[in-house]
Amino acid sequence: MNLIIDVGNSFVKLAVFDGDHIKHKEVVELDLILNSIKAVKYKFTTVKKAIVSSVGKLSESDLDTMRGYFELMILNTETKLPYANLYKTPKTLGVDRIALVSASVNKYPNTNVLIIDAGTCITYDFINNKNEYLGGAISPGLRMRYRALNNLTAKLPLLDIELPDSIIGNSTETSMHSGVVYGILKEIDGVIIEYKENYSDLTVILTGGDSNFLSKQLKSSIFATSNFLLEGLNFILQFNSNE
């Protein structure tokens, strides 16, 4: 069994995999990570290996403690990957994007795949049927757009995400909802259409925290999945363990 540790800015996702299957998953606050990992180790005694994907929030002391529990891999730009990385600045590629592309290789081998991760930012990542990662795009996510409207103007309020009843906003708030939500929906559908003009056999994956909200509104055919990043991290660990 493998332990997957995905460290975000405030929360940590922990997942125990038996092969390709998730046996346990939880989300914990960052300052509780070591206690939670110790509890997982106690409950799942056959977990021997772990992988950490982190945005830099863990100290060396934290990592040393984890090394005392598991054979630990820390995902970075030097990690051996199951695909050819043709990104022109590979050292700047986020570990989350690396993991998402790895998941697509595992689940859809030798396929043209566009992975859309709808979180704080919306990232678009494309890997072709030759197992070559070419790159993609990064744009602001839903909450970032709402915050920008509030922070960069004098009078616009900070709103929670809400699906507008109509594309025509008849108040300041409904106009903001229309601009943000329909703006992102049209962006995503437009990007998918553009890719399909060049890759007619394209498979599209939508994942991330806002994927459930967005997937119901998109016109394009997609596969929505919430565990894609965790699956990608598990596959990277498996790939390197089999070397």
Q: Catalogue the active-site residues.
A: 96
Residue 117 known to bind ligand: yes
Residue 79 known to bind ligand: no
Residue 94 known to bind ligand: yes
Residue 135 known to bind ligand: no
- Of 186, 220, 180, 219, nearest to 204 by C-alpha is 220
Residue 172 known to bind ligand: yes
Neighbours of 89 (CB within 10 A): 8
- CA triple 13-15-16, angle to 5 deg: 160
Residue 108 known to bind ligand: no
Q: In whole angstroms, what is the distance from residue 129 CA to residue 134 CA?
A: 11
Residue 203 known to bind ligand: no
Q: Which residue has the tokens 């565990």?
A: 227
In which element (H, E) is residue 53 found? Answer: strand 49-54
Q: In whole angstroms, what is the distance from residue 59 CA to residue 74 CA?
A: 12
**Numbered residues of the known binding site for substrate:** 87, 94-97, 172
**Numbered residues of the known binding site for K(+):** 117
**Numbered residues of the known binding site:** 6-13, 87, 94-97, 117, 120, 172
